Amino acid sequence: MLRRRSKAVKRTSEHRRSILSEMAQIMYGNAGIGLAAPQVGINERMIVADIGGGLYKLINPRIVKRQGHQVTQEGCLSVPDVCIKIKRAKKVAVRAEDENGKPLTIKAQDLLACVLQHEIDHLDGKLIVDYASLFQRIKIRRKIEKMKEGACDEKLRKSETKSCKLQL
């Protein structure tokens, strides 16, 4: 699901509003600041984000303008204990619909711009590991294999998680 391009939402409904609310609760419950529908097994173009200034519930978001750049170390709720430096636009304009189907444009910068780009990447089947170098990907693959085997040192996992400021 995480590697597939999500389908556009044709119309809003009470069911989709409920999904967006549940996504927000999952995001908050995992100390995240963004979450995309594919991360919860739904192949539709919906995201939620909250960096502390209020909750955004967006349907069919798309980036219509990018400006500048910033490099941020990002983590992801779908790829636990992995942090990668990613170069993204410093400012973006995003067009979407709110949970009631009303069109809106968000002009975001800095952290909110980063979060929106990260979550829209999920809608396009892209993960943070896609930004990693070949060497980083090999290390990440080994780490995930060790975690699956249960051999990952808990202290190492906690220290790496703390070092990654953004858990999206």
- Residues paired with 48 in a beta bridge: 35, 57
| pLDDT digits 0-9 by tens, 105-163 | 999 999 999 999 999 999 999 999 888 888 888 888 887 777 777 654 444 444 344 45
What distance in Å separates the CA atoms of residue 46 and residue 20, rounded to the nearest whole number? 7
Catalytic residues, by residue number, are 119
pTM (two decimals):
0.86
| pLDDT digits 0-9 by tens, 58-72 | 999 999 999 999 999
Residue 46: both structure tokens together? 């919906």
Q: Which domains does the chain have, with CATH numbers?
A: 14-167 (3.90.45.10)
